[in-house]
């Protein structure tokens, strides 16, 4: 008899999480719930490495490809959707299996979400208009003047989080760090869940990342990016900064070679995998394993 209320599978990109989640779902009569911030977008089937329709055929999957790329989807919005998915899973009498590489999603799920006031759309538009065309390093400098504590926490090369911090400061007059200290109730009690972090050896993981990116190109990633570029979306949106998208758009514009765009996509993905592991070590109390076979399900 199963002794846990939900199964949580995290790990860096290309670690084999999706296959493990599907395998576990078949054993546990489960439903797979997406906890990856890129796989929520309809525009990114290939570059987000979303499970194929064939892979998803035998097991119910929720929160995959349900968001339009023009939307700046947030952790808070995902948590709202996750609550609905959790309710659906329980109503179906199925084991909820959350899988993905977005550590903040898992943290919000098991530790609650910071009680940050909603930023009025007028304030958001004002900050975005003032930031348009400004180099990200300058935006970080702007944040450092207004909110040095939050600026110290953020990478100077992370425009999305910098803009978010600027918006919150503009809307509330307080640092985002102040609001992050106030948390709401968690959806799941981590102690009642089976929690796993799948982390293959680094050299093997990097080989998988590089090989998968090549397969993405062969599978039609270029056409996917071309369609995305044709929408002329704000370059600060998450979907426009997905690994591989900026480099391939530069190639389509004639600004770089295909070889350089592919190399950039691979490098960005490898760097992201490192950050995923760093976050998990400091913020997520999951059991780490190198191989899917080590997961005790």
Domain coordinates of the chain in residue numbers? 7-114+183-200+279-294, 121-180, 202-275
The confidence score (pLDDT) of residue 236 equals 85
**CB proximity list for 198: less than 8 A, separation 6 or greater:** 9, 10, 11, 15, 16, 17, 20, 289, 290, 291, 292, 295
The confidence score (pLDDT) of residue 2 equals 67
Backbone angles phi, psi at 210, to 5 degrees: -65, -45
Q: Which CATH class is domain 121-180?
A: mainly alpha
Q: What is the mean pLDDT of residues 161-188?
A: 87
- CA–CA distance, 89 with 13 (Å, rounded to integer): 25
User: Do 153 and 178 form a contact (C-beta atoms < 8 A)?
Assistant: no
Confidence of residue 289 (pLDDT cuts 50, 70, 90): very high
Dump pLDDT digits (tens) for 128-172. 899 988 999 999 999 999 999 999 999 998 888 899 999 999 999
Q: What is the mean pLDDT of residues 67-95?
A: 95
pTM value surpassing 0.85: no
41 burial (CB, 10 Å; 0-12 / 13-18 / 19+) is buried
Task: Indicate if the pLDDT at residue 264 is higher than 90.
Answer: yes
Q: Which of 18, 104, 33, 107 is nearest to 285 (CA)?
A: 107
Dump pLDDT digits (tens) for 220-250. 999 999 999 999 999 889 999 999 999 999 9
Terminal alpha carbon distance of the chain: 11
Confidence of residue 266 (pLDDT cuts 50, 70, 90): very high
Dump pLDDT digits (tens) for 13-62. 999 999 999 999 999 999 999 999 999 999 999 999 999 999 999 999 99
Query: What b-and-e string marks burial along 144-156, b requiring 16 or more CB atoms within 10 Å of the CB?
Result: beebeebbeebeb
- CA–CA distance, 266 with 272 (Å, rounded to integer): 10
Task: Indicate if the pLDDT at residue 181 is higher than 90.
Answer: no
The confidence score (pLDDT) of residue 182 equals 67
Ramachandran assignment for 230, one of left (phi > 0), alpha (psi -120 to 50 degrees), beta (any other) = alpha
**CB proximity list for 190: less than 8 A, separation 6 or greater:** 8, 110, 111, 285
The partner residues of 62 in beta bridges, in order of sequence, read 33
Q: What is the mean pLDDT of residues 268-280?
A: 97
Q: What is the mean pLDDT of residues 270-280?
A: 97
Task: Indicate if the pLDDT at residue 213 is higher than 90.
Answer: yes
CB atoms within 10 A of CB 26: 11
Task: Indicate if the pLDDT at residue 97 is higher than 70.
Answer: yes
Confidence of residue 3 (pLDDT cuts 50, 70, 90): confident
Q: What is the mean pLDDT of residues 172-197?
A: 88
**What is the spatial order of strands in the sheet that 95-100 belongs to?**
61-62, 30-34, 95-100, 7-10, 194-198, 287-289
Q: Which CATH class is domain 7-114+183-200+279-294?
A: alpha beta
**Can you give the length of the chain in residues?**
297
Q: Which CATH class is domain 202-275?
A: mainly alpha
232 burial (CB, 10 Å; 0-12 / 13-18 / 19+) is exposed
């Amino acid at each position: 008899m199963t002794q846990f209320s939900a199964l949580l599978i995290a790990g860096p990109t290309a670690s084999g999480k999706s296959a493990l989640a599907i395998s576990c779902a078949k054993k546990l009569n489960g439903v797979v719930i997406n906890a990856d911030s890129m796989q929520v977008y309809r525009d990114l089937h290939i570059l987000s490495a979303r499970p194929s329709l064939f892979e998803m055929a035998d097991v119910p999957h929720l929160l995959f490809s349900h968001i339009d790329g023009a939307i700046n989807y947030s952790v808070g919005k995902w948590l709202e959707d996750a609550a609905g998915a959790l309710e659906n899973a329980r109503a179906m009498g199925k084991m909820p299996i959350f899988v993905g590489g977005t550590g903040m999603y898992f943290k919000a799920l098991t530790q609650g979400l910071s009680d940050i006031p909603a930023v009025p759309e007028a304030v958001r538009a004002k900050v975005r208009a003032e930031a348009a065309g400004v180099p990200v390093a300058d935006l970080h400098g702007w944040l450092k003047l207004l909110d040095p504590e939050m600026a110290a926490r953020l990478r100077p090369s992370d425009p999305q989080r910098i803009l978010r911090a600027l918006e919150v400061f503009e809307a509330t007059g307080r640092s985002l760090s102040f609001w992050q200290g106030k948390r709401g109730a968690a959806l799941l009690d981590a102690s009642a869940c089976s929690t796993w972090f799948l982390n293959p050896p680094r050299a093997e993981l990097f080989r998988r990342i590089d090989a998968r990116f090549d397969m993405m190109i062969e599978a039609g990633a270029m056409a996917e990016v071309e369609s995305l570029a044709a929408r002329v979306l704000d370059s600060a949106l998450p979907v426009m900064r997905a690994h591989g998208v900026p480099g391939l758009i530069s190639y389509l514009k004639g600004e770089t070679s295909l070889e350089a765009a592919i190399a950039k996509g691979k490098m960005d993905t490898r760097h992201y995998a490192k950050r995923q592991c760093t976050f998990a070590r400091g913020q997520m109390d999951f059991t780490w394993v190198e191989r899917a076979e080590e997961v005790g399900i």
